[in-house]
Amino acid sequence: MKKSGRYTTTGLAEDQYEEGSHGLVLKNSLHLRDKQVIEEVETRELYRVTDRLTEIYDQNHRFTTADICSMHKKWLGTVYEWAGKYRQVTMSKGGFTFALPRVIPQLMADFEKNELNRFTPCNFKNQTEQAQALAIVHTELLLIHPFREGNGRLSRLLATLMALQAGLPPLDFSEFEGGRKEEYFTAVRQGMARDYRPMEKFFNAVIARTLQAYEEK
């Protein structure tokens, strides 16, 4: 095996790169080699599937790990052959290693039994409870990091669907961008110690910004 950036490169299909992409673009069904172009495709597909999923999952739906795999498949299935399948490679970021591949199935089963069962359907009407539910589910899913690509965006998609169950408008995640990315990642790491307060702070800000923008329309 060899190291490639923050990933461990193996002989697995999900860990191959497009020839001519200089190790920047994972092997894909569209044979795209330009990083900006494939990111645009992924973003366009994410918008498409978000609209579709809001019609599939109603406010009384309890999410499962099968739902999460299906969401990932619906989003990236036309781009990557391994979409919707748990990753088989080890991934890390900033010196932090996410869950090892061999334990992902069990961790996801526990995630369904605990966090998804407890916090979905997300029918909480109190903002404090909404932020707590979103923060815990979001953090735990990110710590598992079940897929080879798109974990952050999929976690935000799930948070959006949960927020809609709570009667909130589609969430504005700009709080997670810009100069606060490192603070956000620190909040994710705090979840290892079951300290979700930093992420709850983020989601309280997200909800507040979302409601403000919605009221100004």
Residue 10, pLDDT score: 61
Amino acid identity of residue 108, one-letter, is M
Residue type, 94: G
If one counts the domains in the chain, the total is 1
Domain of 141: which CATH number?
1.10.3290.10
| Residue 178: Cβ-neighbour burial (10 angstroms; 0-12, 13-18, 19+) | exposed
Triad 57, 134, 89: Cα angle to 5°: 85
- pLDDT in the model for residue 9: 52
E-assigned strand segments in the chain: 2-4, 7-9, 92-93, 96-97
Kindly give the confidence (pLDDT) of every residue in the chain, 217 residues in length, as a single tens digit, with 9 standing for 90 and above: 333 344 445 668 899 999 999 999 999 999 999 999 999 999 999 999 999 999 999 999 999 999 999 999 999 999 999 999 999 999 999 889 999 999 999 999 999 999 999 999 999 999 999 999 999 999 999 999 999 999 999 999 999 999 999 999 999 998 777 668 889 999 999 999 999 999 999 999 999 999 998 887 6
pLDDT score of 190 = 97
Range of the domain at 23: 2-216
Do residues 56 and 142 make contact, with C-beta atoms less than 8 angstroms apart? no
**Consecutive H or E run containing 173:** none
pLDDT in tens, 69-127: 999 999 999 999 999 999 999 999 988 999 999 999 999 999 999 999 999 999 999 99
